[in-house]
């Protein structure tokens, strides 16, 4: 018998405003054809002006709690992953905690970009395995549309990202039959900070070594917008997520044939297709959402899990591997018996 984490509920929220590729053509000097060919993205969702990252997180969390049948007062740890926080500090988890009215429990921000979900899940799992916490809410929320350079200068990045939130509820369970009882089998997280500037947002920040944290000059330079070496990120993402998928299986004595569904971080459809080709995975083994919601950074995997549950594609007993890669570089896996 071992104490393990069970995912007992999922939820997601996408804002109501749909932004088609065509809507970006003029403002970004791009085309629907270019975006579809290079990324596979057809549309994404953008938040309303009166919505914040913690507002999106709240809606996804409420749905996850409802699907888990858990009262918010039963949650004893709150983890929120985001690269687009409500404010510089304190963390957005604190703002979400206030909106949920669950004071007293720890509310922690996870700042691991596209790896945010795997990192947060891994942290939740360690706390549950050690018996420290029993019911954990992991929520990933991104509001990119207000943080992007929406001019032709930023078009390589601004066409990719979308807003949205995904959440899961984990509960501690005694596992006596690991092949059949749902639980998180393993998580593994990695980073390589030597590549930090391949995909990053330079400002505002102290390392810019200006007189003040924010100056008009910096804003004119555009240091407040994300920057990316797209080709370097692309090739490393394919290689690393392929290796992580294999790591998730081999480290647990499993093979590709045992896998029922794979959830890759949804950065670009061509990345998942290249992984599928490299590893000879059939299309129906990869759950894809990027066409309809774009890249929602930390939120892509939990939104994908909720989508697959609601479509009846993700069923009890399945063996699923979740794999993410992103800025940092950070990456990792979570192998789960659903």
Question: Closest approach of Cβ 15 to ligand COA, in Å?
Answer: 20
Q: Which of 3, 23, 32, 34 binds ligand COA (CB under 6 A)?
A: 34
User: Any contact of residue 267 with ligand COA (CB under 6 A)?
Assistant: yes
Query: Cα separation of 27 and 155, whole Å?
Result: 9
* CA gap 321, 300 in Å, rounded: 14
- Judged by CB under 6 A, the residue of 164, 276, 302, 326 near ligand COA is 326
Handedness of CA 221, 223, 224, 227 (dihedral sign): positive
Residue 275 within binding range of ligand COA, rule CB under 6 A: no
What gap in Å lies between CA 191 and CA 180, rounded to an integer?
32
Q: Please count the residues of the chain.
A: 338
Residue 77 burial class via C-beta count within 10 angstroms: exposed 0-12, middle 13-18, buried 19 and up: buried
Q: Which part of the chain contacts ligand COA (CB under 6 A), choosing from 43-51, 154-162, 182-190, 283-291?
A: 154-162
C-beta separation of 4 from 183 below 8 A: yes
Catalytic-labelled residue, pool 135, 268, 295, 322: 295
Active-site entry in 140, 147, 183, 265: 265
Please tell me the distance from the alpha carbon of residue 247 to that of residue 225, in angstroms, as a whole number. 34
Q: Which is nearer to ligand COA, 60 or 199 (CB)?
A: 199
Say how far apart CA 282 and CA 75 lie, in whole Å: 38
- Specify whether the CB–CB gap between 79 and 294 falls below 8 A: no
Contact yes or no for 78/141 (Cβ under 8 A): no
- 222 three-state secondary structure: coil
Tell me, yes or no, if 265 is annotated catalytic.
yes
Q: Residue 156 or 195: which CB sits closer to ligand COA?
A: 156
Please confirm, yes or no, whether 114 is among the known catalytic residues: yes
Q: Which residue from 156, 181, 215, 260 is in contact with ligand COA, where contact means CB under 6 A?
A: 156
Q: Does 334 bind ligand COA (CB under 6 A)?
A: no
Is the distance from CB of 301 to CB of 166 less than 8 angstroms?
A: yes
Collapsed DSSP state (helix, strand, coil) of residue 142: strand
Closer CB to ligand COA, residue 237 or residue 308? 237
30 contacts ligand COA (rule: CB under 6 A): yes
Stretch that binds ligand COA, among 61-69, 87-95, 152-160, 247-255 (CB under 6 A): 152-160
DSSP H or E segment with residue 57: helix 53-68
298 binds ligand COA (CB under 6 A): no
Q: Does 107 bind ligand COA (CB under 6 A)?
A: no
Site string for ligand COA, 172-211 (x = CB under 6 A): ---------------------------x------------
**Footprint of ligand COA on this chain (CB under 6 A)?**
28, 30, 34, 38-39, 114, 155-156, 159, 199, 228, 230-231, 233-234, 237, 267-268, 271, 295, 326
Active site residues: 114, 265, 295
């Amino acid at each position: 018998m071992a104490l393990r984490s069970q995912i007992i509920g999922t939820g997601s929220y996408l804002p109501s405003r749909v932004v088609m590729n065509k809507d970006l053509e003029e403002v970004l000097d791009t085309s629907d054809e270019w975006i579809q060919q290079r990324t596979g993205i057809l549309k994404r969702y953008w938040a309303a002006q009166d919505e914040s990252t913690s507002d999106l997180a709240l809606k996804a969390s409420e749905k996850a709690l409802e699907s888990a049948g858990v009262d918010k007062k039963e949650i004893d740890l709150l983890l929120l992953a985001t690269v687009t926080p409500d404010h510089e500090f304190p963390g957005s988890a604190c703002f979400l905690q206030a909106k949920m009215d669950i004071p007293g429990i720890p509310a922690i921000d996870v700042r691991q970009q596209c790896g945010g979900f795997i990192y947060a899940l891994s942290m939740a799992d360690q706390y549950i395995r050690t018996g420290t916490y029993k019911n954990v809410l992991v929520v990933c929320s991104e509001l990119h549309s207000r943080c992007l350079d929406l001019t032709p200068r930023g078009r390589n990045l601004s066409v990719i990202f979308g807003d949205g939130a995904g959440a899961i509820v984990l509960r501690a369970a005694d596992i006596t039959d690991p092949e059949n009882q749902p639980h998180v089998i393993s998580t593994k997280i990695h980073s390589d900070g030597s590549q930090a500037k391949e995909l990053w947002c330079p400002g505002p920040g102290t390392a810019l070594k200006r007189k003040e944290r924010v100056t008009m000059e910096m804003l004119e330079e555009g240091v407040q917008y994300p920057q990316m070496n797209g080709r370097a990120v692309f090739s490393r993402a394919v290689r690393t997520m392929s290796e992580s998928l294999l790591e998730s299986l081999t480290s647990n004595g499993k093979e590709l044939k045992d896998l029922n569904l794979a959830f890759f971080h949804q950065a670009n459809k061509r990345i998942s297709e290249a992984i599928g080709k490299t590893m000879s995975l059939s299309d129906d083994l990869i759950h894809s959402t990027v066409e309809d919601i774009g890249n929602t950074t930390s939120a892509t995997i939990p939104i994908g899990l909720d989508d697959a549950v609601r479509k009846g594609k993700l069923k009890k007993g399945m063996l699923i591997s979740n794999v993410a890669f992103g800025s940092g570089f950070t990456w990792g896996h979570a192998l789960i018996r659903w």
